[in-house]
């Protein structure tokens, strides 16, 4: 699987769930594939998608909140995992796209080729943890975590190395991203 396939599969399974996207290719691909008002694109503050998602999940327990994270982002704010585990928000789903590199800055290696991120999630006491490597497993597990209580942690191993290509940047201004995300949260859905 590559990034595009993974994000396409996840996007197809979403309904009204809120999604906080980590910076870099995750926000840019998600914006390009399936822009929706329920998406918050974090364009700076690397590492903090999981913290932002936690704040949303704690403050809006009636809505499912998906954090679309990357291995580089996760490792940069690893303390977020035990915060989530200690607070046990049932509506928080943490999906980590793990390609073992910082893709948007030119594929410099992270350390997730030797460090098992799902083991860290286990130690941090997530309620449900799975690692997937195929599109079939990904579909099954995304459906499962969307239908069940969390906090859940889904590690998606990205095996296909990205060919160098142009990926569009998020064209909404940060304030627009915030305003429409806040409107989507305030709507009564689900």
Residues of this chain that bind another protein (CB under 8 A): 20, 40, 42-48, 50-60, 77, 79-80, 82-83, 87, 174-175, 177-178, 181-182, 185-186
CB of 144 to another protein, least distance (A): 24
Nearer to another protein, 77 or 110 (CB): 77
How far, CA to CA in Å, does 107 sit from each of 72, 100, 112?
A: 11, 8, 13
CB of 133 to another protein, least distance (A): 30
Decide: 53 and 92 in contact? Cβ < 8 Å: yes
What are the structure tokens assigned to 72, written together? 């580089």
Q: How many CB atoms lie within 10 A of CB 36?
A: 16
With tokens 């009636």, the residue in question is: 62
Q: Could you tell me which residues are beta bridge partners of residue 20?
A: 40, 67
Backbone angles phi, psi at 74, to 5 degrees: -60, -45
Nearer to another protein, 159 or 173 (CB): 173
Nearer to another protein, 1 or 56 (CB): 56
CB of 98 to another protein, least distance (A): 21
Nearer to another protein, 124 or 132 (CB): 124
- Please list, residue by residue across 112-149, b when 16 or more beta carbons sit within 10 angstroms of its beta carbon and e when fewer do: beeeebbebbeebebbbbbbbeeeebbeebbeebbeee
CB of 122 to another protein, least distance (A): 18
Nearer to another protein, 62 or 108 (CB): 62
CB of 80 to another protein, least distance (A): 6
């Amino acid at each position: 699987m590559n990034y595009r396939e993974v994000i396409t599969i996840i996007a197809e399974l979403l309904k009204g769930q809120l999604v906080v996207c980590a910076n870099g290719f995750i926000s840019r691909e998600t914006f390009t594939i399936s822009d929706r008002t329920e998406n918050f694109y974090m364009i700076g503050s690397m590492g903090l998608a999981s913290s932002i998602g936690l704040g949303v999940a704690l403050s809006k327990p009636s809505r499912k909140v998906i954090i679309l994270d990357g291995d580089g982002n996760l490792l940069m704010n690893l303390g977020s995992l035990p915060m989530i585990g200690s607070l046990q928000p049932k509506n928080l789903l943490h999906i980590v796209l793990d390609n073992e590199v910082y893709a948007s800055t030119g594929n410099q290696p992270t350390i997730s080729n030797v460090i098992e991120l799902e083991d860290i999630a286990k130690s941090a006491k997530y309620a449900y943890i799975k690692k997937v490597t195929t599109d079939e497993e990904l579909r099954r597990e995304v459906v499962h975590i969307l239908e069940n209580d969390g906090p859940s942690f889904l590690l998606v191993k990205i095996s296909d190395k990205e060919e160098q290509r142009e990926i569009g940047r998020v064209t909404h201004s940060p304030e627009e991203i915030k305003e429409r995300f806040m409107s989507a949260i305030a709507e009564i859905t689900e």
